[in-house]
Amino acid sequence: MTAFLRLVRRDLLLAFRQGADAALVVVFFALAVLLFPFGVGPEPNMLARIGAGILWVMALLAALLSLERLFLADHEDGSLDLLALAPLPLELVVLAKVAAHWLTTGLPLMLTAPFLALLLGMDAAAIPALVPALLLGTPTLSLIGAIGAALTLGARRGGVLLPLLILPLYVPVLVFGVAAVDAAAAGLTPRPHLLILGGLLLGALPLAAWASAAALRQALD
Amino acid sequence: MSVFAGRDLDCVRGERPVFAGLGFALRPGEALVLVGPNGSGKSSLLRCMAGLLRPARGELSWDGVAVDEDPEAHRGRLHYVGHQDAVKAPLSVEENLHFWAGLRGAPAAGAARVDPARALAGFGIAHLARLPARLLSAGQRRRLALARLLAAPAPLWLLDEPAAALDDTALGLFEAAAAAHRAGGGAVVLSAHAGFRLPAAATLSLADFPPERPAP
């Protein structure tokens, strides 16, 4: 087993043993989405029209919840020093941790979203676009979030700073994620929007690994 | 013969110079004990040696080759045990050790891989292998952190206060492990307050390398 997979496996094991984190994300997502009918009124037309936006905004807020801990736990107990000294390049350490983060937050969000979409009365035609859009979009959220988590590692109020830093960077994913779902609901092809989401993911992959690793080195120094 | 040496090392933490003009040389089988008052830079020097911290000036070399030229090779030949034990509470003792030993990948050619169970036995905690690490006492966590040294062999040990929280038995086990490591051609650098029973260890007093403080 390579060092990369070992690290992913350890993080998944930790998330699984601690349990609460992944469940918390999904429960927060579901609860927050379910608040909207109370807030904007239960008119089905209204909810169906803004449903895609609700799901995406809530999904990225839910993804934020556990981001602060991404490197913090390892930083606090000294594991990050040892990870930086491991033969694995720090860039791959970042990607391994992001992969584990996505598997414990992005993936459950993606699996919950279709049910919440039906609950909001969204067009069933939109769901085949919603799932791939989340599949391409949520890893990007984890990747961009890793940059923020690494940058705020030494900061005193990292938890407050983190959303301020990365929420603006989430805008492109939000725009094209919602556009893909809306296009499908309107009977158009979501393909161009999905391609852009894929492009964002491919761009974020090396960029986030490089930027987070640089920030982590700074934090260790 | 591999010599780990430092020359003219300056260290600055924040804006504050910690030590200046420090040099050392370490041959296989040797041990170096860093002593000095709190804040004199013992931990900073160890982190510099590990490559976690960049010295403001000066050079570290291994066999005459600057460490900066091949940081990856340097990381592969050292073990660093810091203040913190890097022990994950939800994992068992065994899982913690397996992870860190496995992360280092295949051992260097010629080096035998040590069975993690033997590494735990080397620090007297083999009977705790299946226990969740959150139940360990501070001393037992320290023993687990030190067991990493035995689970994946590396020629250079950099240990920050290894004796912290250790009882006399564990101290004896540690001294035995260090002696075996040195007999095998390994080198040890450690920081300490209390006197260690490390035979023929050189002592480096950080107080001998005070930085030139700017006039107030």
Distances (CA, A) of B43 to A13, B56, B209: 32, 15, 15
Percentage of the residues of chain A whose pLDDT score is greater than 70: 100
Q: Return the pLDDT at A56.
A: 94
ipTM, two decimals = 0.86
Q: Compute the nearest-CA separation of A221 from chain B (Å).
A: 5
**Which are the contacts of B181, defined by CB distance < 8 A and separation ≥ 6?**
B149, B157, B188
Interface of B with A in 85-124 (CB under 8 A): 85-88, 90-91, 95, 99-100, 102-105
Burial of A126 (0-12, 13-18, 19+ CB in 10 A): buried
State whether residue B39 is helix, strand or coil: coil
Confidence of residue B109 (pLDDT cuts 50, 70, 90): very low
CA torsion A176→A181→A182→A188, rounded to 10°? 100
Determine the angle formed by the axes of helices A171-185 and A191-220, rounding to 10 degrees: 160
Question: What are chain B's domains?
Answer: 1-77+155-216 (3.40.50.300), 85-154 (no CATH)
What pLDDT digit, counting tens, does each position of B60-94 carry?
888 888 888 888 888 888 899 988 888 888 888 88
Q: Best residue in B67, B84, B97 to probe A by mutation, most A CBs within 10 Å?
A: B84
A43 touches chain B (CB under 8 A): no
* Mean pLDDT of the A188-208 span: 95
Residues B163-202: tens digit of each pLDDT:
888 888 888 888 888 888 888 888 999 888 766 677 777 8
- The shortest CB-CB distance from B90 to any of A18, A78, A84 is to A18
Which residues, numbered 59 to 88 in chain A, qualify as contacts with chain B under a Cβ-Cβ cut-off of 8 Å?
A: 76-79, 81-88
Task: Judge: B52–A85 Cβ closer than 8 Å, yes or no.
Answer: yes
* Average pLDDT score over residue span A68-90: 89
| pTM for the predicted model, two decimal places | 0.89
- Residue entry with tokens 């564990």: B170
In angstroms, rounded to a whole number, what is the distance separating the alpha carbons of residues B41 and B43?
Answer: 6
- The residue in chain A having the minimum alpha-carbon distance to the alpha carbon of residue B98 is A6
The C-alpha angle A180, A185, A189, rounded to 5 degrees, equals 55
Residues of B in contact with A84 (CB under 8 A): 52
Q: Which ranges in chain A belong to alpha helices (H)?
A: 3-18, 20-40, 44-65, 69-76, 79-85, 90-101, 107-119, 127-151, 158-166, 171-185, 191-220
Alpha-carbon distance B150 to nearest alpha carbon in chain A (angstroms): 15
Token duo for residue A221: 């120094």
Asked whether residue A203 carries a pLDDT value surpassing 70, the answer given is yes
Over the stretch A109-119, which tens digit does the pLDDT of each residue have?
999 999 999 99
Q: What is the DSSP letter of A104?
A: I
Phi, psi of B32, rounded to the nearest 5 degrees: -130, 125
Tokens representing B101 are: 């030993």
Least confident of A54-68, A153-167, B94-108, B142-156: B94-108
Q: How far apart are CA A91 and CA A133, in angstroms?
A: 26
Contact A142, A169 (CB under 8 A): no
Q: Do A78 and B84 touch (CB under 8 A)?
A: yes
Question: What is d(CA B200, CA A87) in angstroms, rounded to the nearest whole number?
Answer: 32
Q: Are A100 and A11 in contact (CB under 8 A)?
A: yes
